[in-house]
Amino acid sequence: MRLTCLACATGYEIPEGGDPRLLACPACAAPQAANFVYERAVRFTSAEHPRYADACRAAREGRFDDALAALAEALRAGMDLDLAVGDPALARLRADPRWPDFVRKAAAS
């Protein structure tokens, strides 16, 4: 599966079946165990809404325009707004000044 380094944002493939505790980013050598757990959780919760996974990834990477667009699509596809409001994966996005307005509009539609 593919990981994106939390420290330097380099994307890289990891082999299936390896020990995630031993993972390190190939570009900056930052430990990636927490990143692995995070990515797997995102994949699990967003299996029915691939655009939600896109939103989480974009939010984490600071691409808030992309994150809001992807999240809007996921919500239109039936994604639960409450999950997005409470999801730690979207914490950076919730700090964006557009977030309160976004939630208000999503809740009203």
Q: Which listed range, 23-31, 43-51, 59-67, 94-102, lies at the site for Zn ion (CB under 5 A)?
A: 23-31
Tell me how far, at minimum, the Cβ of 12 lies from Zn ion, in Å. 8
Nearer to Zn ion, 28 or 85 (CB): 28
**Contact call for residue 8 and Zn ion (CB under 5 A):** yes
Please choose, from the candidates 92, 47, 99, 93, the residue with its C-alpha nearest in 3D space to the C-alpha of residue 74: 47
Distance in Å from the first CA to the final CA of the chain: 35
**Count residues contacting Zn ion (CB under 5 A)?**
8
- Cβ within 8 Å of residue 9, ≥6 positions away: 61
Assign 3 to helix, strand or coil.
strand
Q: Which listed range, 10-18, 62-70, 75-83, 90-98, lies at the site for Zn ion (CB under 5 A)?
A: 10-18
CB 83 within 8 A of CB 56: no
- Which residues make up the interface to Zn ion (CB under 5 A)? 5, 7-8, 10, 25, 27-28, 30
